[in-house]
Amino acid sequence: MDSGTLAPREVYKWGIITALGVVAGYVAVLLANVRHFYTDDTESQYAPLWVMMGRRLREGDLPILVPEHWMAGNYTIEEAGLLNPPQLLIDLIAPSVDNLALYATVVKLIFAIVLGLGVYRICLAYGSRAPWGAVAGVAIPFSGWLLFFDESSWMTAFTGTAWLAHAWASGVRYARGRSGPIPTFVFLYLAISVQYIFPAVEAGIMIVAVAVGELVYRRKWQPSLRLLMVSACAALAGLATYLPSMLSAKVTWRGTAQINNDQLLTVPWSESLNAGLPSTLPAFTTWWGYVQPMPVVYIAWFVIPALAFVDWRKALDSARELTAPALFTAVVLMWTAGPGAIGPLRWPARVLPMVALGLLVLFGVLLGRFATFADWRRRGSIAAGLIGLLWLRSVSAAPQEVVWHVVSALAVAALGAAVVWLARGRGAAAACALMVVSIFPIAYLQVWAAQPTPLGWNLPEHRSQMKAAFPDFPGTTLQLGDRAFIPPGERTLEGAYGSLVFGNYAKDLELTYVSGYTPNGHFQFGEMLCMRWDTSVCPDAFRRAFAVEPTTGKTIVDLMKVDRVVLHTALYPDARNQSAPQGWKWVDYPGHEKYISVLERETGLLSTMNGRVAAANGVTAESIAESDTTSRVRVSSETGGRVVFARLNWPGYRVTLDGREIPVDAVAKTFVAVDLPAGTENAELKLAWQPPGWPIGGASALIGLLGVGVLYWLYRRRGEDESAGLPQAADAIEAELAVR
C-alpha cells in the first residue's frame, strides 16, 4: 500500500478496517436478501459456467470450444475468463461446492474487499489520510449500480472494476517512482482478461486520465510516458482475450462495429444529482419502464453534502494533482448519457460504477486533505441546501415516493450533523468510523425495499438437489421451450426447474444441452431455431428443428446429431397428440409430464456414432479421432462429394486432405462442410479449429512480457525514489485534521 507520509501502522490499520467494513456491509445485505449475490446472470450464466469450466480443467482440458453446446459453445467469445488466472482458480474450486449461492456470495465478497482496498489505495496515492480513504473504500461496493447489478448479477463487470481500481493506484505509484511497473502491468492485465469489454475500455480511459494528470501535476513527460508504455505492454498481453470476438463478430448477433443511439439504459446527467439520497429512484428507460425500482444511481449519502466542508481555497491550490480523478469522472459521466451503443459497448448505464469510483476518490482525497469544520454553522447551512437539491431531484424523478424522500433527506441531515459533531469533538477518525457504520443499515434498507428483486430467476442453489430431481438425459439434448411461460410460483426445483433448463442451468446438472446463456450467439443458428439468448424459442422452432435441409436430405436435428428433443408442455400443449417424427418415439418420464414431452431416437444415441460426421453425400467417411477442436476422418469418393460435420461454422476452421489444405464450406450458413475432389481414396481429412487471432495474440503477449521486463530493468537501474521531487501540497503531510 502507498503510505505516503502516513505511518505504515496507520495505513494497515485502516486497510483492515476497510476490509472488515465490506464484510459487515455484506452481512447487512444478506439479512435483507440471502440470495442477493446469487441472482439473474450469476445464477443463470456465471455460476454454471464456473462448474463446467472447472470440471473440464480438472480433466486437463481448457474448453475453448464445445461443439455440442451449440448456442454458447465458443467460449473464446463468451465471458469465461479463459486467460484470467484468478477466474480459472474460481472455476477449479466450483465443482467441489454444492451450494452455488454460498459459493457465489463468498467469491463476490472477496472481490468486494479487493475493490474496497483498491479505492483505499487510490486515495492514499493522492495523499489522503487513511480514515477518509477507508470511508471511500467501504462505500464503493454498496454504491447503487454495483450493489444492484454488477455485484448481484454481472460478475465480470464487478471483477474488472476491482482489478481496475488497483491498476489505478499502482499506476500513480509507478508514475511517481514509488513502485515498479509490474503491479500496474498485472492489475491491468487482470482487468483486461476478465473477458468483458467494459473494464478493458474503462481501464484505458483511466490510464489516459492518470497520464494526463501526472503530466499536469509534475510538468514532466517522462513519468506519463512510462505509465503509457507499461499500459501498452498490458494491452498487448491481453490482446488474445478479445481477438477471437473481434474476428468472429460478423457471424454473431452483435455484428460488426457500429454506433447507435437509443434511450434504453442511457442516463441523463441530471439523474447523477441523485447520488447522495438513499431513497432515490432515478428516471431513465430500462426493462422496468421509466422510473426505476432500485436506487441504481446512488453512491453514498455523504458524497454531496461533504462538499460544504472542504477548504476550497487550499484545494484549488492543489487542483493540479487532482486532474486525473476529475478528468476520469468527467469522461465517464459524459459516457453514461450515451450513445446507447458503440460497437459491443451498449447500455451506457453500465458505466455508473466508474462515476461512483471517480466521485468517491475525489471525496476521499478532498476530505482527507482539505476537510475543515471552521465556521461549521455556515457550512452546515450549505450542506442542508445541497441535501435539499438532492431531495428536489429525487422527488422530480419519482414523485410517488415523496414521503420516503423526506424521511431519507432528514436521515442524511441527521447523520451529517452527527459526523460534524464527532469531528469537532472527537476527531476525524471517530467521524469516519460513524460514516463507515452508517453504510450498513442503508445498504440493508435499500435491498430490503427492492424485494422481491425484479432480476431473479430463482434457480436452485444446491447442485446435489438439482441432479437428484432432474431426469438423467445421456447424450445431447435439444430443448424447445420459453422461459416466459413459467409462472413465478413454479420457478422452483419441485416445479419447472426439475424438468426444464434455461440459460446455463444444464451445466449445473452436468448434462449436455444444445442451449446456453449467450450474449454472442451465432446469428444463423439462432435464426434457424429462432433461439434467443436465454435458450427460449418461438413456437415454430419444433417445425424448424425437423425440417429437411435440401442439399443433404437430412433434418436439422440429424445434422446436429441431437439424441433427444424436449418440448416445453406450456409451449407445445398438444405435442403428445401427434405422431412422433420418423425415426423418433415418445418416451415417458414419470413425474415430469406436467412440464415436458420427450422425443428420443429409436436407434439410440446418434451423438456417439462416427464422431461428428453428420452427413456424407457421395462420400464414405469414417471417423478416426475426435476432440472438441479437431475431427480426423478417413474418406473416399470416386466422383467427389461433401462431408458435413455437426459443428457450427465459426471462423477459425482449417481443413487438410492428406496434409494438403482445401477450402472449408458451410451448409445452411451454419454447419461446417467440406467438398472432396473426385478420385479421393482412403485419404485422411483433418478438420481443425483454433481461435482466430490467437497466434497473433500469443506473439503480442510475448512482446508485452518482454516490454514490461525491459521497463522493470530500467526501473531497477534508475534506483532513485523519484517521489522526492514531487510538488508538496501544504496540508498533505499534516498528521491530523485541523478541527476548529
pLDDT for the residue 269:
87
> Residues 712, 663: one domain?
no
Pick from 560, 559, 608, 554: nearest CA to 582: 554
Q: Do 648 and 507 share a structural domain?
A: no
Statement to judge: residues 278 and 188 lie in one domain: yes
d(CA 423, CA 436): 14
Listed residue (513, 494, 491, 495) closest to 504, CA to CA: 513
Domain of residue 632, residue span: 613-689
Instruction: For residues 418 and 511, state if they share a domain.
Output: no
Strand-pair partners of 8: none
| 236 and 326 co-located in one domain | yes
**What backbone phi and psi angles, to 5 degrees, belong to 505?**
-55, -35
| Number of domains composing the chain | 3
C-alpha cell at 57: 480443467
Band the pLDDT of 728: cuts 50, 70, 90.
very low
In this prediction, residue 338 carries a pLDDT of: 86
d(C-alpha 315, C-alpha 366), whole Å = 7
**DSSP notation for 495-541:** TGGGT---TTHHHHTT-EES----SS-BHHHHHHHTB-TTS-B-TTH
Tell me whether residue 540 is in a domain.
Answer: yes
Cβ 358 vs Cβ 329: under 8 Å: yes
Q: Is residue 662 part of a domain?
A: yes
**150: which DSSP letter?**
I
Q: Is residue 2 scored above 60 in pLDDT?
A: no
**Rounded mean pLDDT of 98-121?**
98
- Residue 5: the pLDDT is 58
Neighbours of 506 (CB within 10 A): 24
The reported pLDDT for the residue numbered 262 is 84
Position 219 in a domain = yes
Say what the alpha-carbon torsion angle 197, 200, 203, 207 is, to the nearest 10 degrees.
Answer: -130
For residue 733, pLDDT beyond 60: no
Angle at 12 between CA 11 and CA 14, to 5 degrees: 70
* C-alpha to C-alpha distance for 38 and 317, rounded to whole angstroms: 47
Average pLDDT taken over every residue of the chain: 94
Q: Which residues pair with 683 in a beta bridge?
A: 635
Determine, yes or no, domain membership for 553.
no
* Residue 262 per-residue DSSP state: -
Judgement on whether residues 90 and 206 belong to the same structural domain of the protein: yes
pLDDT computed for residue 303 by the predictor: 96
Residue 667 above 60 pLDDT?
yes
> What distance lies between CA 252 and its chain's CA centroid?
19
> Would you list the DSSP string of 155-209?
HHHHHHHHHHHHHHHHHHHHHTTSS-HHHHHHHHHHHHTTS-HHHHHHHHHHHHH
Q: Do 518 and 640 have their domain in common?
A: no
Instruction: Kindly tell me the sign of the dihedral angle through the C-alpha atoms of 153, 335, 121, 222.
Output: positive
Verify that 175 and 318 share a domain, yes or no.
yes
Q: Calculate mean pLDDT across residues 274-302.
A: 94
Residue 199 lies in a domain: yes
Same domain, 107 and 152: yes
Write down the pLDDT at residue 726: 53
**Band of residue 729 on the pLDDT scale cut at 50, 70, 90:** very low
DSSP H or E segment with residue 713: helix 694-718
Q: Are residues 147 and 58 in the same domain?
A: yes
Q: Which residues contact 460 (CB under 8 A, 6 or more apart)?
A: 466, 492, 493, 497, 508
Amino acid (one-letter) located at 89: L
Residue 256 lies in a domain: no
Q: What's the mean pLDDT in 37-49? A: 98
For residue 298, being part of any structural domain is answered with yes
pLDDT in tens, 689-715: 999 999 999 999 999 999 999 999 999
583/529 same-domain check = yes
Residue 565 to residues 505, 546, 557, Cα–Cα distance (Å): 17, 10, 9
> What average pLDDT does this structure show over 215-220?
93
C-alpha cell of residue 338:
450515451
Which residue do the cell numbers 486515495 mark? 123
Q: What is the DSSP string of 356-389?
A: HHHHHHHHHHHHHHHB--TTHHHHHHHHHHHHHH
* Rounded-to-integer distance, Cα 5 and Cα 732, Å: 8
Least confident of 72-76, 272-276, 729-733: 729-733
Spatial distance between the Cα atoms of 637 and 676, rounded to a whole number of angstroms: 7
473-493 mean pLDDT:
96
Q: Does residue 197 register a pLDDT over 60?
A: yes
Residue 685, C-alpha cell as written in the block: 481429412
Q: Are 243 and 692 in contact (CB under 8 A)?
A: yes
551, part of any domain: no
Radius of gyration over alpha carbons of the chain, in Å?
A: 29
pLDDT, residue 257, reads 64
Give the pLDDT confidence score for residue 3 in this predicted structure: 43
Helices and strands, number each (H, E), in the chain: 23, 21
Question: d(Cα 122, Cα 5) in Å, to the nearest integer?
Answer: 14
Strand duo 283-286 + 259-260: pairing: unpaired
- pLDDT of 599 above 80: yes
Q: At 660, which CATH number?
A: 2.60.40
Decide the pairing of beta strands 283-286 and 554-555: unpaired
Pick from 270-284, 379-393, 401-415, 469-483: least confident: 270-284
Q: Tell the burial category of 427 from Cβ atoms under 10 Å away from its Cβ (0-12, 13-18, 19+).
A: middle
Answer yes or no: do 420 and 526 share one domain: no
Q: What is the pLDDT of residue 379?
A: 96
